[in-house]
Amino acid sequence: MTQSPMARAATQFEAAFGAAPSIQVQAPGRVNLIGEHTDYNDGLVLPCAINFGTAIVARRRDDRTVRVIAADYDDAADTYSLDAPIARLEAPMWANYVRGVIDDMVRRGLPVCGMDMVIAGDVPQGAGLSSSASLSVAVCTLFATLPGFGHLTPIDLALAAQRAENDFVGCKCGNMDQISSAAGVAGHALMIDCRSLDVTPVPIPSNVAIMIFNSQVTRGLVDSEYNTRRLQCEAAARHFGVPALRDVDLAMLEARGAELDPVVLRRARHIVTDSARVADAAVALAAGDLARMGELMAASHASMRDDFEITVPAVDELVAIVKAAIGLQGGVRMTGGGFGGCVVALVPHALVDAARAAVAQHYRAPNGEQATVYVCSAAAGAGACP
């Protein structure tokens, strides 16, 4: 039987450091049901934390040294002192997420101490399920267990993790991934207002599974078009004289959109319409209206494909295959930053096997691989473990 990430990390910790860990924390990954790239435009999103995540086991040190081992990367290690400036590495990238969080805490004057830690996780890498946010939030959660940190709320932890990704790692992501991981509620999606940071749990019907299909088309946010899309959105907001595209509605866009560069107009139209779809989806999901969710998710995918241009042909094909299998009884769309990664579907339990079989029969990635399928549940957010 495969060990859990927590058990794997604990085993490796004792082997590496010769003692049992005294602190254990976890932070889940997330899947976004609808509302893509709307977070950094101060809009609405509807993600949920999932039962795949990052585990960290650790023990405080008496000195100012940090020693980190990544159990999932052939036990690669990173060691540095808190008394020297913390530098960004060219490689390995995982180490920068840990370094970035610690650097943020040091700069804010928090009482960070030396630490031995081992990290393990089961969030698929590069698939759009926020393995990076899960890692960053887990590191924040670890240090928040220490004396002197005061009471840090889930939002506090999420924003610290976001700062680390923005300022240290160099990915100008929004705050959705981190808030989802830090503030998740079991059995619920979260409607997040990315401006006010209000979080509203939305119940997911008990007869519905969250299916995630990894297209096997890998992508990397930092090296992708992600930052370009953000700049285009910011340009559109400046044109309308507003802080963010959150403040533009469809009527305004239709009245003055011709003034924009055609590509920037399409980017803005996706953001404006997808944020509106989130509000409608929260109502539909709470009511258990899967047919309406299907309509909204289909419209969101079309918008990502045609206006935001972040899907790829293999992902479009995968969405079509799943939709044909579930019909009007559920919804499916690409999820994540784009250019590959995963497809998410809300599927009645009775149709899970049919959706899985259809994908196994009809889908192959460009490299010939089959999609990997995960059947998930909405999980609780980050926290310490006994």
**Positions marked active-site:** 177
For residues 47 and 35, give the distance between their C-alpha atoms in angstroms, rounded to a whole number: 8
- Of residues 41, 115, 34, the one with CA closest to residue 295: 34
For residues 252 and 270, give the distance between their C-alpha atoms in angstroms, rounded to a whole number: 14
Angle at 222 between CA 155 and CA 171, to 5 degrees: 30
For residues 226 and 304, give the distance between their C-alpha atoms in angstroms, rounded to a whole number: 13
DSSP conformation class of 114: -
Query: Do 27 and 261 form a contact (C-beta atoms < 8 A)?
Result: no
Which residues on neighbouring strands pair with residue 347, listed in sequence order? 209
- Of residues 197, 71, 61, 52, the one with CA closest to residue 127: 52
- What pairing do the DSSP bridges indicate for beta strands 208-214 and 342-348? antiparallel
Grouping H, G, I as helix, E, B as strand and the rest as coil, residue 199 is strand
- Of residues 210, 224, 177, the one with CA closest to residue 340: 224
